[in-house]
Structure 1
Amino acid sequence: MAALSLAGCYSVGLPSQPALPGDDFDYELAYAALPDGDYTWPAINYKSVDRKYWRQVVDYKSGSRPGTVVVDPYNRFLYWILSNRKALRYGIGVGRAGFAWSGDAQIRVKRMHPIWRPPQEMIARKPSLGRYWEEGFPAGLKNPLGARAMDLWQGRTDTLYRIHGTPDPSSIGRNVSSGCIRMWHQDVIDLFERVPLRTNVVVLSKEGEA
């Protein structure tokens, strides 16, 4: 459990967690090119992005239990709750679908190297994407879902809300036209390793409520 502690002040009680970023965290290493099975995700030019969007532990008051994921699409942050006062924060990019739903859900599906199927609404706007409907866009460096995807469900209902990687690192910290909740490959892999299936997720509304 030592990897979960930062200055010994909190722990979320989940085993086999990556170390939390502290004062001496090596961002150069964290955002370096990352070999991952058949792929190597490119290094992130993180210094060109506002530091607030880098992976970091922050003060964050929340009524959610430790181990909960809180998504704030309007401020473009995703929080992994550590205690009622601290959270691990990641910068995100938010696609149009990221504003389409808010509420409480669970991560019921976790996908490594996911394939992507465009929604019918997108195919209607761009018919050339229809070829990806049956077999999907193959996994890899150009896949719109990137290195990992986590699917949010309410009971037996798929909300169609996704937390996923992105081949466009410049979209982090921005509102973009497509996708749901985008993360740098290195960050979505880090989150993927922390959260088990059935992790509770709270997606905030514009008023800051679930």
Structure 2
Amino acid sequence: MTLEWCCPMNMPATPSLAPSGHLTRRSFGALLLATSAAACAPQVPESAPVAVAPDWLPEYAPLRDAGYDLPAIPLQFTQGINRRMEGIYTGEAPPGSIDVDPYAKFLYHVKLDGTATRYPVGVGRQGRTLSGLATIQDKRAWPGWTPTANMLRTEPEVYGGFRNGVPGGLRSPLGARALYIHRNGRDTYYRVHGTNDLPSIGNSGSAGCIRLFNQDIIHLFNNVDLPMTINIRSEVESLRVDPENYNRGVELPPTIISADELLNSEAVASDRAPDLSQLASNF
């Protein structure tokens, strides 16, 4: 079966990056670079301002949310297939669910009509990823974060300074939104969440959670109805369903930010809490 993907629905593609029409499975990541010159174009006066193309795709433009101005995602992080796309779903998860491939570094929101929105994700380093079926039981905007006991025990040099937690807002490692994964009625402490660690998207580098660009987690959050089944593919399933993208990306070391740097009293004192009455709708 042909798997087709296209740019986000109702969004103009950036001509220099996204091909028109659909992308076939065999052509994921191919870029259509078109240039043209008008030999008889009139001369532009030296004083006229020169239009500069934005350094981001339309779906990753700057965004106002909860009183914060979220920056755009630069083009260098959304090259090829490492961007949000819409297309025909050929995986094995049922309609109305989420399907995550931690080996290909994609999350699929599977629709009732047989299509899906595919988001690039960052996933856990080897041996740190949840697998199998679970349930998205809760979702929160601008959530706070506290490292788990296991994080504190296994990587105290990374998480020890945050044992008292980080409040929701621009400093929270969970970013703009989080979906909370439960299994058998209990919190697994794994999340699908936003991140400011842009190089981690498309790679393995987290402690096990599934990361998205903040613009993408807001888009997903606005389209998720609770409760929702989530499937996290096994290695066998990933090879069976999407062998072409198996083991996409690289494994990264943890990004270490000291508690003094993130939570110094002067910076925290100037923080504004998120205004949850002003959340962005789909864009």
The one of 125, 129, 134 equivalent to 1:100 is: 129
Distance in 1 separating the partners of 2:126 and 2:70: 25
Structure 1 counterpart of 2:9, one-letter code: P
1:19-61 CA deviation, whole Å, 9 max, x = no partner?
Answer: x525734673321111111322211013443321211013331
Equivalent position of 1:12 in the other structure = none
32-41 vs 187-196, greater mean Cα deviation: 32-41
1:84-112 CA deviation, whole Å, 9 max, x = no partner?
Answer: 75321000011238843211111111011
Residues 149 and 164 of structure 1 are in contact (CA less than 8 Å); yes or no, is this contact kept in structure 2?
yes
Equivalent position of 2:195 in the other structure = 166
Distance in 2 separating the partners of 1:59 and 1:119: 37
Equivalent position of 2:71 in the other structure = 42
Residues 98 and 181 of structure 1 are in contact (CA less than 8 Å); yes or no, is this contact kept in structure 2?
no
What SS class does the counterpart of residue 180 from structure 2 fall into?
strand
Structure 1 counterpart of 2:69, one-letter code: T
Distance in 1 separating the partners of 2:158 and 2:131: 30
Distance in 2 separating the partners of 1:131 and 1:50: 35
Distance in 2 separating the partners of 1:24 and 1:192: 22
Distance in 2 separating the partners of 1:116 and 1:159: 14
Equivalent position of 2:12 in the other structure = 24
Equivalent position of 2:41 in the other structure = none
The one of 144, 149, 153 equivalent to 1:120 is: 149
The one of 188, 205, 214 equivalent to 1:176 is: 205
Distance in 2 separating the partners of 1:66 and 1:173: 24
Distance in 2 separating the partners of 1:122 and 1:130: 8
Equivalent position of 2:87 in the other structure = 58
Structure 2 counterpart of 1:103, one-letter code: G
* Identity of matched residues, %: 38
Structure 2 counterpart of 1:116, one-letter code: W
Normalising by structure 1, what TM-score? 0.79
Q: What count of residue pairs does the alignment treat as equivalent?
A: 190
Kindly indicate whether structure 1 or structure 2 has the higher relative contact order, using CA contacts under 8 Å at least 6 residues apart: 1
The one of 88, 95, 98 equivalent to 1:69 is: 98
Deviation at 1:197, TM superposition (A): 1.2
Counterparts of 1:197-208 in structure 2, within 5 Å, are 197-208=226-237
191-200 vs 148-157, greater mean Cα deviation: 148-157
- 5+ residue gaps, structure 2, are 1-7, 15-55, 239-283
Equivalent position of 2:174 in the other structure = 145
- 5+ residue gaps, structure 1, are 1-19
Residues 95 and 182 of structure 1 are in contact (CA less than 8 Å); yes or no, is this contact kept in structure 2?
no
